[in-house]
Amino acid sequence: MVQLAPSILSADFARLGEHVRLVEEAGAEVLHIDVMDGHFVPNLTFGPAMVKALRPHSKMRFDVHLMIEEPERFIADFAAAGADHITFHLEASRHVHRVVQQIKELGLTAGIALNPATQLDGLKYILEDLDMVLLMTVNPGFGGQKFINSVIPKIQVLHHHIEQKQSSCVVEVDGGINLETAPLAARAGADILVAGSAVFGQADPKLAVEKLRRAVSTVQSE
């Protein structure tokens, strides 16, 4: 069963509580929270205070995607604010194993994200410690970008590897997911699909989640 993770990056920040409740009512399992620092990526978003403010409004799993340099500096703050899961970028940390341990010691699940051009090889000695791998299908930094099709084989390879190892690690795909690309990513082996503009950029975010769910359910029944 593929899960949907609406990204608040494209939500109306002035009506965030209301928007988050809408997607939860529509059955979204995970809320994706994009944190950007203006260094690792050329954009700035928000910090732990946003997670803390949203926490009382939702029972969804809070999936924090850190697009920040030296993520170890902020793990404890996001955990205290109510994150359930933290993903950081392989490209942004020099002590990958230590950061994974830090996240897990706080009782959260841990994931590593890879930019579209980053090889899977960098995960070789850490994969067994991960709860999630996030494969970016756009270059991180902005919502509303076009899905990079050449990442599809990378999703397939990772999915097959995880299946062979009988690991419980899940594959999340993030960037440019819409009604057309969601089935492609699901068919390639994605377990969780992040969608920002295809949900919160639509006039009716609740209907948008329902449509995405229908689009991926056709793949599951193949």
Ligand X SMILES: O=C(CO)[C@H](O)[C@H](O)COP(=O)(O)O
Query: Annotated binding site for substrate: which residue ranges?
Result: 7, 65, 141-144, 174-176, 196-197
9 CA to centre of own chain: 11
In whole angstroms, what is the distance from residue 165 CA to residue 133 CA?
14
* Cβ nearer to ligand X, comparing 78 with 161: 78
Mark residues 172-191: x for contact with Fe ion by CB under 5 A, - for none: --x-----------------
204 a catalytic residue: no
What gap in Å lies between CA 132 and CA 5, rounded to an integer? 14
Residue 181 binds ligand X (CB under 6 A): no
- Closest C-alpha among 203, 177, 194 to residue 12: 203
Q: Which stretch binds ligand X (CB under 6 A): 44-52, 168-176, 181-189, 202-210?
A: 168-176
DSSP notation for 43-79: -B---HHHHHHHGGG--SEEEEEEE-SSGGGTHHHHH
The count of residues interacting with ligand X (CB under 6 A) is 22
CB-CB neighbours of 198 under 10 Å: 28
Residues in 102-141 that interact with Fe ion by CB under 5 A: none
Specify the residue for token string 């910090």.
47
Q: Exactly one of 63, 131, 174, 191 is catalytic; name it.
A: 174
Identify which of 110, 124, 118 has the alpha carbon closest to the alpha carbon of residue 92: 118
Site for Fe ion (CB under 5 A): how many residues? 3
> Does 6 interact with ligand X (rule: CB under 6 A)?
no
Catalytic choice (34, 63, 131, 191): 34
Residue 174 annotated among the catalytic residues of the structure: yes
Footprint on this chain of ligand X (rule: CB under 6 A): 7, 9-10, 32, 34, 65, 67, 138, 140-141, 143-145, 174-177, 194-198
Catalytic site residues?
Answer: 34, 174
